[in-house]
Structure 1
Amino acid sequence: MATATEEHVVQERMKESEHELHPLQDTWTYYLFIYKGNDKWDESIIKVATFGTIEHFWSVMYNTAPPSRTPNGTDIFMFRSDIEPKWEHPRNENGGRWLVPLTPDSPIDR
């Protein structure tokens, strides 16, 4: 059985870790692509946030509209912050993409 002192030390360490940030290996930028038909491709990209820690990532995810509340045809991009979300960017030369097609009745965030 733990002593009162040991329990106090454990609780203090838990409090400290609540404020500890967990950095990601890279800084990432979250974009939305909402194409309206007559806009240039570049004008349809909306930079939502840039984050470099797990905590900031979840803060962004919890504070942005879920996929079900974005306009139909919206794409979500997640790129390292030093890479532009364009096929023409040199670091995307041999890149690919991961698609998750959703229908209006998809239960993705419900």
Structure 2
Amino acid sequence: MNNNNHSKIQSENTMNSTMLARLEFPNHQPQQSNDDKLQLKNAWGTYFYKADKQRDWKQNVIYITSISYIEDFWSFYTHTYGLRDLSNGSDYILFKSGCLPMWEDLSSRGGGKWIVTIDPKRRKHDLDGYWLHLMLLLIGDMFGAHLSIYINGAIVSLRVKGDRLALWLKKIDDLNIIKSIGNKFKDLLNIPADIQIIYE
């Protein structure tokens, strides 16, 4: 192994260790009574994923924390790295409690996802804003009750060939509902016409 490769691996390991340390929320902060918090309609689970070919998918997923109140969300958001600070192969995941971010899970079995692909060159300028906006739309139930019941969660993925925002849906037999969610997804995020959105 040459020195450049060795340095790269050391840098990656340091980054991963720092990430794990930062994901451990400080427990010395004063606790706010739940009576003083704004409760969300749904509770949510947050995860971090980092691709490692030596381990299977489940081993690469790190559960971060649960979010039941808006204050919980901002605590999560301020204690995690921005997307521009992460390396390719990283994901942040926000899923409703009781739903796991895997197609084998009963909540997602037979379902699909709306995907927005964004040029990695726009990562520093656009992706953080899109991801924050999408998370707020989900926890704020801004898709509307008639559509939100079909949404399990969202994943933002950093990849060399294109960063992705994915909105995961339950199994839906009505094509019109799938299209309505996709249109709402694009409209609420104000996705420009030159960015493609597809359903898989």
Q: TM-score, normalised by structure 1?
A: 0.71
Q: Alignment length, in residue pairs? A: 92
Larger radius of gyration: 1
**What does residue 10 of structure 1 align with?**
none
**What does residue 63 of structure 1 align with?**
79
Bigger fraction of residues in helix: 2
Q: CA–CA distance in 1 between the matches of 2:36 and 2:117?
A: 33
**What does residue 103 of structure 1 align with?**
120
Question: Residues 70-89 of structure 1: CA distance to partner in whole angstroms, max 9, x if unpaired?
Answer: 22121111111211111111
Deviation at 1:97, TM superposition (A): 4.8
**What does residue 77 of structure 1 align with?**
93
C-alpha distance 97-41 of structure 1, shift in aligned 2 (>3 A): farther
C-alpha distance 37-103 of structure 1, shift in aligned 2 (>3 A): same
Structure 2 residue runs without a partner (length 5+): 1-34, 130-200
| Aligned residue type for 1:60 | F
Q: CA–CA distance in 2 between the matches of 1:102 and 1:76?
A: 18
Q: Report the more deviating stretch, 69-78 or 43-52.
A: 69-78
**What does residue 3 of structure 1 align with?**
none
**What does residue 102 of structure 2 align with?**
86
Please show how residues 29-68 of structure 1 align to structure 2 within 5 Å. Answer: 29-68=45-84
- Alpha-carbon contact 2:83-2:123 (below 8 Å) kept: no
Q: CA–CA distance in 2 between the matches of 1:48 and 1:99?
A: 24
Structure 1 residue runs without a partner (length 5+): 1-18
Question: Residues 17-72 of structure 1: CA distance to partner in whole angstroms, max 9, x if unpaired?
Answer: xx831111111011111111221011010111111001110110011111112221
Q: TM-score, normalised by structure 2?
A: 0.41
C-alpha distance 24-62 of structure 1, shift in aligned 2 (>3 A): same
- Alpha-carbon contact 1:27-1:51 (below 8 Å) kept: yes
Structure with greater contact order relative to length (CA < 8 Å, sep ≥ 6): 1
| Aligned residue type for 1:96 | K
Q: 1:20 aligns with which of 29, 36, 40?
A: 36
